[in-house]
């Protein structure tokens, strides 16, 4: 009897607190054979749920779940206007769940289906911040004592809402000039007071005017960053030509990309060093695997987006691709709380600054659907969206 997709279920849960996770379960005509995928776009989570339930579910029921590429291409092109984070996340939930099923059918971890391990575990970076340089340095030391070798450093800008720092201040006010002045001083302090073998990273988060980002990159070059992330917004990609001609600082870019037209030229012209896409935002494992192979030809390494608004299933998907691709660079990690591990048994383990696979078939992770109900989405006025970030004069600024 032919194997078919019989049902698609969406599970909504928030065990990490305010992160609205969306995960997808594909059930098949083989009792007990199912797969899980991540479809989390936390700022528009309810919209993704609607896309899955109203479009993707009726579209894929009846298909053979083994035809991953065929299903992906059919679902993608069935909408004349396609791409974008909502539809891409809906597709990702299906795509990753199908790879999970494929691994279970083969009785292999997904990384084996991608060619097997290119490394034993995945090197990670995590985040340190603080109100002062001293606090940032102390937090970095604490992380290195836990085995981390790569740390992203962010510091508060007094009086402003600063990305990457939870310090007190005016909650939704921002000015780029004070930030640009303080960041080089942070890294001068860190390089003076920390061992030189600690790899330091920083995220501009596309918040400042492009020409200011170029100046900041040039100033930071002497502090030997492992990479500088998101100096520009995707709509400002042409500035990478100017940036590349003026500094050799390694550049990471991509977590806001949703379309190949955004990232293919940057790779082809060797304008970035690390590809930072959010795998579910570009459509799932199938397209991310192709992107990793494309990047390899141009010397670009992977650094998939891995914050708390990627579900543990999404982190497992990142891990399996990280293990298999030759051009792996680094993996952003989230240190999950006990509630997340309760809801998602099989969540990958962090040991000595590395992420380890459990070598179970498929993605190696499951969902306890009853326990997921214990952690409903929080009641948020903007339904997960971010409140406006404004300049001192009231102008809206990029987040």
Structure confidence at residue 17 (pLDDT): 83
Same domain (yes/no): 126, 78: no
Same domain (yes/no): 82, 157: no
Instruction: Determine phi and psi for 354, rounding to 5 degrees.
Output: -115, 155
pLDDT by 10-residue block (mean), the chain, 399 residues:
96 92 98 97 94 97 98 94 93 98 98 98 97 97 98 95 67 89 98 97 96 98 98 97 98 96 96 98 97 98 96 98 98 95 97 97 98 93 86 89
Does some domain include residue 32?
A: yes
Say what the pTM is: 0.95
Cα distances from 343 to residues 261, 346, 372, 374, in angstroms, run 37, 10, 5, 9
In tens, the pLDDT along 143-153 reads: 999 999 999 99
Q: Which two tokens stand for residue 164?
A: 């990457």
Mapped onto helix, strand or coil, the DSSP state of residue 90 is helix
Same domain (yes/no): 129, 101: no
Same domain (yes/no): 95, 139: no
Same domain (yes/no): 229, 255: yes
Same domain (yes/no): 60, 39: yes
Is the distance from CB of 349 to CB of 330 less than 8 angstroms? no
Structure confidence at residue 399 (pLDDT): 84
Structure confidence at residue 175 (pLDDT): 93
Tell me the pairing of strands 21-28 and 274-275. unpaired
How far apart CA 28 and CA 30 sit, in angstroms, is 5
Pick the catalytic residue from 34, 111, 163, 179.
163
Same domain (yes/no): 194, 101: no
Among residues 52, 77, 109, the one where a domain terminates is 109
Does some domain include residue 375?
A: no
Q: Angle at which helices 176-193 and 133-145 pack, to 10 degrees?
A: 50
Same domain (yes/no): 53, 134: no
Is the distance from CB of 28 to CB of 355 less than 8 angstroms? no
The beta strands (E) that lie in the chain are given as 5-13, 21-28, 34-38, 122-128, 150-153, 199-203, 227-229, 251-253, 274-275, 301-302, 331-332, 349-351, 354-356, 389-390, 396-397
Based on the residue annotation, tell me whether 163 is a catalytic residue of this protein.
Answer: yes
> What do you get for the CA distance between the two ends of the chain, in Å?
52
Q: What is the DSSP string of 18-47?
A: S--EEEEEEEESSTT-EEEEE---GGGHHH
Does some domain include residue 167?
A: yes
For residue 164, what is the DSSP state? T
Same domain (yes/no): 48, 179: no
Pick the catalytic residue from 127, 150, 202, 205.
205
Same domain (yes/no): 326, 184: yes
Structure confidence at residue 327 (pLDDT): 98
Q: Which two tokens stand for residue 33?
A: 């054979």
**Residue 68's domain is classified under what CATH number?**
3.30.390.10
Q: Angle at which helices 68-77 and 85-106 pack, to 10 degrees?
A: 170
CA angle 65, 70, 76 (to 5 degrees): 110
Does some domain include residue 391?
A: no
Does some domain include residue 393?
A: no
**Residue 130's domain is classified under what CATH number?**
3.20.20.120
Q: Look up tokens 């083969």; give the residue.
A: 106
What b-and-e string marks burial along 274-292, b requiring 16 or more CB atoms within 10 Å of the CB?
bbbbbbbbbbbbbbbbebb
Q: Which two tokens stand for residue 93?
A: 């939930």
Q: How many domains does the chain have?
A: 2
Structure confidence at residue 166 (pLDDT): 64
Q: Give me the count of residues in the chain.
A: 399
Structure confidence at residue 388 (pLDDT): 87
Same domain (yes/no): 60, 168: no
Among residues 109, 125, 148, the one where a domain terminates is 109
Does some domain include residue 329?
A: yes
Provide the residue range defining the domain that includes 98.
Answer: 5-109
Same domain (yes/no): 82, 162: no
Does some domain include residue 380?
A: no
Based on the residue annotation, tell me whether 205 is a catalytic residue of this protein.
Answer: yes
Does some domain include residue 387?
A: no
Among residues 109, 128, 157, the one where a domain terminates is 109
Q: Angle at which helices 312-324 and 85-106 pack, to 10 degrees?
A: 70
For residue 286, what is the DSSP state? H
Is the distance from CB of 93 to CB of 37 less than 8 angstroms? yes
């Amino acid at each position: 009897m032919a194997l078919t997709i019989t049902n698609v279920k969406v599970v909504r849960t928030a065990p990490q607190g305010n992160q609205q996770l969306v995960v997808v379960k594909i059930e098949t005509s083989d009792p007990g054979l199912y797969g899980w995928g991540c479809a989390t776009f936390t700022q528009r989570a309810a919209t993704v749920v609607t896309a899955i339930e109203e479009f993707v579910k009726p579209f894929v029921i009846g298909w053979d779940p083994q035809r991953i590429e065929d299903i992906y291409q059919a679902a993608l092109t069935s909408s004349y206007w396609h791409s974008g984070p909502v539809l891409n996340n809906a597709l990702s939930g299906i795509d990753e769940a199908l790879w999970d099923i494929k691994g279970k059918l083969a009785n292999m971890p997904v990384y084996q289906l991608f060619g097997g391990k290119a490394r034993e575990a995945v090197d990670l970076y995590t985040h340190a911040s603080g109100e002062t340089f001293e606090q940032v340095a102390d937090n970095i030391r604490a992380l290195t004592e836990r085995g981390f070798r790569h740390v992203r450093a962010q510091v508060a800008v007094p009086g402003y809402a600063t990305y990457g720092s939870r310090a007190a201040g005016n909650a939704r006010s921002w000015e780029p000039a004070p930030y640009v002045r303080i960041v080089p001083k942070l890294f001068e302090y860190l390089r003076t007071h920390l061992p030189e073998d600690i790899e330091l990273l920083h995220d501009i988060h596309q918040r400042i005017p492009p020409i200011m980002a170029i100046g900041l990159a040039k100033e930071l070059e002497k502090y030997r960053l492992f990479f500088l992330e998101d100096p520009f917004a995707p709509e400002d990609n042409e500035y990478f030509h100017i940036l590349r001609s003026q500094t050799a600082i390694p550049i990471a870019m991509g977590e806001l990309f949703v379309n190949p037209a955004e990232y293919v030229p940057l790779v082809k012209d060797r304008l970035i060093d690390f590809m930072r896409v959010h795998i579910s935002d570009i459509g799932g494992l199938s397209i991310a695997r192709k992107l990793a192979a494309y990047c390899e030809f141009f010397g670009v390494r992977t650094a998939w987006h891995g914050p708390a608004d990627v579900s543990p299933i999404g982190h497992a998907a990142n891990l399996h691709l990280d293990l298999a691709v030759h051009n792996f660079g680094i993996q952003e990690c989230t240190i999950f709380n006990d509630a997340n591990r309760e809801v998602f048994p099989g969540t990958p383990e962090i040991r000595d600054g590395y992420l380890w696979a459990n070598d179970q078939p498929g993605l190696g992770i499951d969902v306890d659907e009853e326990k997921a109900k214990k952690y409903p989405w929080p009641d948020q006025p903007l339904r997960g969206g971010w409140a406006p970030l404004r300049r001192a004069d009231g102008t809206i600024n990029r987040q």
